[in-house]
Amino acid sequence: MNKKLSEKIALVTGGTSGIGLATAHVLVEQGAKVYITGRRQEELDAAVALIGPAAKGIRADASVLSDLDTVFSTIASDVGRLDVLFANAGGGDMMPLGAITEEHFDRIFGTNVRGVLFTVQKALPLLTPGSSVILTGSTAAVKGTANFSVYSASKAALRSLVRSWALDLKDRDIRINVVSPGPIRTPGLGGLVDEEHRQGLFDALAAGVPLGRLGEPEEVGKTVAFLASDDSRFINAAEIYVDGGLAQI
State the catalytic residue, choosing from 86, 109, 151, 226: 151
- How far is 130 from 188, CA to CA, in rounded Å? 32
Positive or negative, the CA dihedral 13, 42, 104, 102 is negative
Question: In whole angstroms, how far apart are CA 198 and each of 18, 192, 194, 205?
Answer: 16, 8, 6, 11
- How far is 224 from 136, CA to CA, in rounded Å? 9
Positive or negative, the CA dihedral 155, 161, 165, 166 is positive
Catalytic residue status for 151 = yes
Q: Supply the DSSP symbol for 184.
A: B
- How far is 26 from 150, CA to CA, in rounded Å? 30
Catalytic residues: 151
